[in-house]
Amino acid sequence: MLIENPILPGFHPDPSLMRVDDGFYVASSTFEWFPGVQVHHSRDLVNWRLLPHPLTRRSQLDLAGNAPSKGVWAPCLSYCEGIFYLVYTNVRSMQSGFFDGHNYLVTASDITGPWSEPAALNSSGFDPSLFHDDDGRKWLLNMLWDHRPGRPKFGGIVLQEYSADRRRLVGEARVIFKGTELGATEGPHLYKHDGMYYLMVAEGGTGYGHAVTVARSRELTGPYEPDPDGPMLTSRNNPDLPLQKAGHASLTDTPGGEWYLAHLTGRPIMPQRRCPLGRETAIQKVKWDEKGWLRLENGGREPRLQVQAPQLPLHPFPPLPARDDFDKPELPTHFSTLRVPVDENWLSLTERPGYLRLRGRESLSSAFHQSLVARRVQAFRFRATTCMDFAPLNARQTAGLVCLYDTENWFYLNVTHDEKIGVCLVILRCNNGACDAPLQAPEPLTTGRSVRLRAGVDRCTLRFSFSPDGKNWDIIGPPFDFSTLSDEACRTGVFTGAFVGLCAQDLLGDRLHADFDFFEYDDNNGLPR
């Protein structure tokens, strides 16, 4: 049996992989999207399911006002003596060379929660990781940010003891590793194997120069000797590899003693060399060589699309339904909102049973109070469809279907009101903050307040269409370049990926609502026919 990479397609970066008994778990970054931190579960490393998010309350994670690609960076999941530990960074700003971000820890006795209120750790850098030594002591690692002009911003990996009783860091913080010539040393994870401490870090930046470096020491505090063969995993030297950006890795074993490495990756669309699906999670089988260094099972240092699965029984999970009919009182787990948690003040699944009601709030450019629900795009070819009831009375009232990367980059098929023709369909496009309306004229809607909207994508091409009845569909607007919704094309957000979802705005402040009957996301279809 083979594992097909990526194991978590779409925006799932910075994987933290761990095992508890016969269960495997991966935590990944969510940045400005709420709830915070995605956690996936597997019993075979082949099949994965999304669990409830750990950070569901604003008291655990306040993202309001965070710029694109700030927020939750590189969470680390660990387990010790019946308790799950999760450490994470909330990055607020990195303007003018300064770093305003804070590291926190939450705990739970069950992976599905409830998770505790956060304990504040430090604010010295990002990518925190908690190591549980076999003597019972716990240690926090993170990269150290140096804001001083003329100095390298990446100041090395810092280590400090954590007191579980006091829920705070204690003792001296010391830099234990400065990195290699690749630079940008971050994403630390510490392991103990055969009496040696192994420090795994990401280097070379999180783009196409990304790499995984391993260093080791007989003492916890170092000195750490880097692997003399250089990075043990990277795509940096082969632009033809289907899995690029390989880096930011974490390690676990199986009950049978096999070893696997989860790592960040990206799959670029060529020739644009853009990754609209964002940074994804892949896995590689690894081994320890005769000198005690970590190596890919099949040799070399380049990631593979297919990897030998462990000797474990297959454990598939029921697939997610393509269609959500909004007939339950809570949103499905795979939906996210921007920066703020779901609140009955702006989102309801009960006011009109069988519908998702969104009350219009701020614009798609807002970093505060948007009424938006979306899911990750997880395939190069997909189709998203909804049916919406909406009766705008003003051009400042809009609602519809959106494909977006961040507050500066999106394509929006929406219903609004025009002073001359009444209720109509409009397309708005925003490219790095420059917005325009590609239609020559609004499309009148004369069949009542209900309309079906669809976005179809085939790799780089996005087309919108609409229908009054779900049977007869009309394409609206020109083809759009979907690949612009990517790290490589966006000027502000550089760490997330494309989403597709539903939203409503009311710039009058009257909070006019839009009702959505269903949302369907189908990876087996693409452009509208």
Task: Give the whole-angstrom CA distance, residue 76 versus residue 48.
Answer: 18
Q: Look up 186 and say whether it is catalytic.
A: yes
Is the bond leading into 35 cis (omega within 30 degrees of zero)?
A: yes
Single out the catalytic residue among 186, 203, 389, 406. 186
Task: Give the whole-angstrom CA distance, residue 37 versus residue 75.
Answer: 7
- The 3-class SS string of 429-466 reads EEECCEEECCCCCCEECCCCCEEEEEEEEECCEEEEEE
**Residues written for the chain:** 529
Is the bond leading into 478 cis (omega within 30 degrees of zero)?
A: no
Task: Give the whole-angstrom CA distance, residue 230 versus residue 214.
Answer: 8
Q: For tokens 């697939």, name the residue.
A: 319
Q: Look up 325 and say whether it is catalytic.
A: no
What secondary structure letter does DSSP report for 108? E
Task: Give the whole-angstrom CA distance, residue 404 versus residue 482.
Answer: 9
What secondary structure letter does DSSP report for 482? G
Q: Which residues pair with 430 in a beta bridge?
A: 410, 435
Residues in CB range of 471: below 8 A, 6 or more apart:
none
The string of DSSP letters for 14-48 reads S-EEEEETTEEEEEE--BTEESB-EEEEESSSS--
Chain centre to alpha carbon of residue 323: 22
Task: Give the whole-angstrom CA distance, residue 485 versus residue 403.
Answer: 8
Strand segments (E) across 149-279: 154-163, 168-177, 186-193, 196-203, 211-217, 225-226, 233-234, 244-253, 259-266
Residue type, 395: A
Look at strands 154-163 and 443-444 and give their pairing: unpaired
Q: What are phi and psi of 97, to 5 degrees?
A: 85, -5
Single out the catalytic residue among 14, 32, 44, 389. 14
Q: For tokens 């830099």, name the residue.
A: 175
Task: Give the whole-angstrom CA distance, residue 178 versus residue 146.
Answer: 12
Is residue 186 classed as helix, strand or coil in its secondary structure?
strand
| Residues annotated catalytic, as ranges | 14, 186
